[in-house]
Structure 1
Amino acid sequence: MATVKLLLRTEKSDASGEAPLYIRITKDRKPKYISLGIKIHPKHWNEAEKKVKKAHPNSQRLNNLLAVKIAEAEGVALTLETAEKNTPAIKIKEAVLGKTSESFLKYADHYIKALEKNNQISTTEKARAVFSKLRAFLRNRDLLFDQLTVTFLKSYERHLKDEVGNSTNTIHANLRVIRRIINEAISEDIMSFEKNPFLKFKLKLEKTVKAYLTEEELLKIEELPFKPGTRKYDHRNMYVFAAYAGGLRISDVLQLKWKHFDGERVVIDTHKTGSTVSIKLPAKAITILDGYRTSSSRQDDFIFPVLNPLKDYTNPRTLYTALSAATTYTNKDIRAIGEQIGFSGNLSFHSSRHTWATRALKKGMRIEYVSKLMGHTSIKTTQVYAKIVSEELDRAMDVFN
């Protein structure tokens, strides 16, 4: 812990015998001095109490000033050391002098506001959740770029694991957001590349099992006798449709309109990445869509009757709220459907995407085609499905044992 004291440096006395007053900050036996710009004759200085004696004509005013300066220095030292125990004395001195780096939290706020202004609502909300946790950890203290060290990241990582109860992969996702904003600050020369703590701090990630259905399990879901017009009937059909239609994400299935379907294929700009996908639908997917077409269906109508057709979704915030609510409701039904067919584990709508990818690769579709149809920006993202199929083939070979 750093110590902060007043010091009359008599060795620096001038010709009149007056000596300058300094604040001395000591950390790990290394002192740093801050000049207060005040000189006092040793005869007017009470060394034991670290105060100006009453005999000095301005003792009251000077002692008040010194008390404020000491309090400020102690406050800065405490703030820095609470965030990072190994804060050196030089950093505390710079902070007291006002030579501090910019606020990381304020920069992050501007960054998040820019995301929202750019209508990246989902990314905005995720980032806000990440920084809500960070602010709770800091207990409403500020966080400067200089305080973003490996020691700080390790401390925060332990907090998320032990106090918040986050999983390794949730912690990974949180720290990735922080890393992304640090990289943005580096690109704007607000933080130097050499000070990036992620150069020495390795993000941890645990392997997760992607849930997907076998052909038999998918067929069981298709054959469940739900009553037409019910929500569970619609949610089941959306799931099965996606499992045949290139693994479309739920945000795209919910917004699918008749204008996106020409009777043979679906052409849509994906909600998540904005990339355009064109998918020639197999007979099963077309049959599902045809079941929703009526004589009054218009080009601008939603195919699946989940989103409110009378509501204006041009506002990104309104659309985000509606998609989030519909996704939660749909996943609740899909989880129940999974239990109905005896699926081991929690089934979610996103598993329809995994189901399509693994089925496509098993049926011999080239991985580049699978990647393109899924709207992946990198084939590396798709390779995880190839690995799943490869592992299944390895297990199949066990019959010879």
Structure 2
Amino acid sequence: MATIRAVIRKKKNKAGQLPIAIRITKDRKSTFLNTGQYIDEKFWDAKNRNVRKSHPNAKVLNNFILTKVAEANDKVLKSEMKPEYETVAEIRNKIIEKKGFDFFTVANMHLQNLKNRNKHHQYDTEFGRLKKFKEFLGKDTLPFNKLNVATLKRFETHLLHQKKLSPRTVVNYLILIRTIYNLAISESITDRGLYPFGKGRMIIKIPESLKIGFTAEEIQKLENAKGITEAQQKAIHIWLISFYFAGIRIGDVLKLKWSDFYDGRLLYRMNKNSKLVSLKTPKKAIEIFDTYKNDLDDNGLIFPQLKGVNLNHSEEVSKRTQSITRNLNRRLKIAAKHLGINKNISMHIARHSFGNISGDKIPIQMLQKLYRHSSVTTTIRYQANFIHKDADEALDSVLDF
């Protein structure tokens, strides 16, 4: 027969308070249900297993605890009446599952949060990933107690070997699932005891990605491009502007306005994280901008690609930017081939190219500022792809004999 008790656990939160939990014990094995409530240890009556009257909300908390104990007792009694044996873990899992709140219900909450924050591109990407997860499972519902390490491992194998996705892309799927699980925990929809991620469970390891940027000579080929179409030339202009301003993202380049420039500086707010940026306007960038001065847009945009788009409608801008980026990348590839550049090219390669050429010439703190990274650690990891001098010299010191 299982027993149910209200207890406090010893792991304190940031405020120094202890969590109130419901302990279920069966066959000398115990499991705990978090109630989401915390109190100072001095307010807990261990003998009577309730909150002392000296606590300002003692009556409300004790009624809450009684309700939780009663709910657990009800589930335990029903379990004991069944002919098949249930472990304490199985009983616990049934108790914590909230009716109607499975993984995909919380996934919809996550997607709605993205929409509310105007993260439309991320919404589209993650909507597609969740659709593939549903297709893999063959169903539209997934209780959290069924989302275990075995399921995640099978899904990982499916993406790698059946769908032929890259390891980095597969990691993105797993990170999305983990994010949704964390949301469910934060909303008290499921319990951390079921959490399938972390040490001894499903560990997400981000594989090192190969970032290859252009050399100065290859960029000069783009700057001096001849024999290409007007559409290809405009694509190169946008790519170069991104490069000249330390790899600003395509969405920000397309939304650049003449009014963003003051006293020879670019002042704008990044779309990705809303950070304010102030950068000197290089002479090479001014030369490109001068070619667009006669094509004034009603919105004051420098480049014409977003002409006619309502810039205040974030979803419309996001979808249009995705379409424009695909077209620009296609034209860049054709132009690069014509110019004798054999490396892959896309708008994002402009950012890699800035990193490649800067190498170890610029202090890491300055690069952090130019890249607009929130953490210098991110900058160090990013720039490690392009700093080869020390390794090259070390190799030469051994082989040059």
Per the normalisation by structure 2, the TM-score is: 0.71
Residue aligning to 2:191: 192
Alignment of 1:17-28 (within 5 A): none
Measured against aligned partners, the alpha-carbon deviations of 1:294-342 in whole angstroms (never above 9, x if no partner) come to 3x7468421122222x332321211111100000001111222332343
Cα distance in 2 between the residues matched to 1:215 and 1:399: 24
Cα distance in 2 between the residues matched to 1:145 and 1:157: 18
Residue aligning to 1:222: 223
Measured against aligned partners, the alpha-carbon deviations of 1:205-230 in whole angstroms (never above 9, x if no partner) come to 322211201111110111111568x2
Measured against aligned partners, the alpha-carbon deviations of 1:23-82 in whole angstroms (never above 9, x if no partner) come to xxxxxxxxx76559xxxxxxxxxxxxxxxxxxxxxxxxxxxxxxxxxxxx9xxxxxxxxx
Cα distance in 1 between the residues matched to 2:232 and 2:310: 25
Residue aligning to 1:360: 358
Alignment RMSD (CA, Å): 2.8
Alignment of 1:171-320 (within 5 A): 171-199=170-198, 200-226=201-227, 230-262=230-262, 264-294=264-294, 297=296, 300-308=299-307, 310-320=308-318
Cα distance in 2 between the residues matched to 1:99 and 1:339: 59
Report SS of the residue matched to 1:247. Answer: coil
Cα distance change of structure 1 residues 165 and 249 upon mapping to structure 2, 3 Å threshold = same
Aligned amino acid, residue 181 of structure 2: I
Report SS of the residue matched to 2:301. Answer: coil
Which one of 311, 328, 331 corresponds to residue 329 of structure 2?
331
Measured against aligned partners, the alpha-carbon deviations of 1:81-129 in whole angstroms (never above 9, x if no partner) come to xxxxxxx77777889x897453111111122122212322122112211
- Tell me by how many angstroms 1:171 deviates: 0.7
Cα distance change of structure 1 residues 396 and 251 upon mapping to structure 2, 3 Å threshold = farther
Alignment of 1:27-46 (within 5 A): 34-35=81-82
Report SS of the residue matched to 1:388. Answer: coil
Q: Which runs of 5+ in 2 are unaligned?
A: 1-78
Q: Which runs of 5+ in 1 are unaligned?
A: 1-31, 37-72, 74-87
Report SS of the residue matched to 2:335. Answer: helix
Cα distance in 2 between the residues matched to 1:135 and 1:269: 37
Cα distance in 2 between the residues matched to 1:99 and 1:392: 55
Measured against aligned partners, the alpha-carbon deviations of 1:119-152 in whole angstroms (never above 9, x if no partner) come to 2212211221111011101112410111121122
Cα distance change of structure 1 residues 263 and 335 upon mapping to structure 2, 3 Å threshold = farther
* Kept after mapping to 2: 8 A contact 1:238/1:253: yes
Asked if 1:371 is matched to 2:368, the reply is yes
Cα distance in 2 between the residues matched to 1:331 and 1:148: 39
Measured against aligned partners, the alpha-carbon deviations of 1:330-381 in whole angstroms (never above 9, x if no partner) come to 111122233234334421110101111332344x322212111222111222
Cα distance in 2 between the residues matched to 1:327 and 1:100: 43
- Tell me by how many angstroms 1:237 deviates: 0.9
Residue aligning to 1:322: 320
Cα distance change of structure 1 residues 90 and 194 upon mapping to structure 2, 3 Å threshold = closer
Cα distance change of structure 1 residues 105 and 385 upon mapping to structure 2, 3 Å threshold = closer
Cα distance in 2 between the residues matched to 1:283 and 1:399: 38
* Kept after mapping to 1: 8 A contact 2:121/2:319: no
Cα distance change of structure 1 residues 258 and 299 upon mapping to structure 2, 3 Å threshold = farther
* Kept after mapping to 1: 8 A contact 2:258/2:300: yes
When Rg is computed on C-alpha atoms for both structures, the one with the higher figure is: 1
Aligned amino acid, residue 208 of structure 1: S
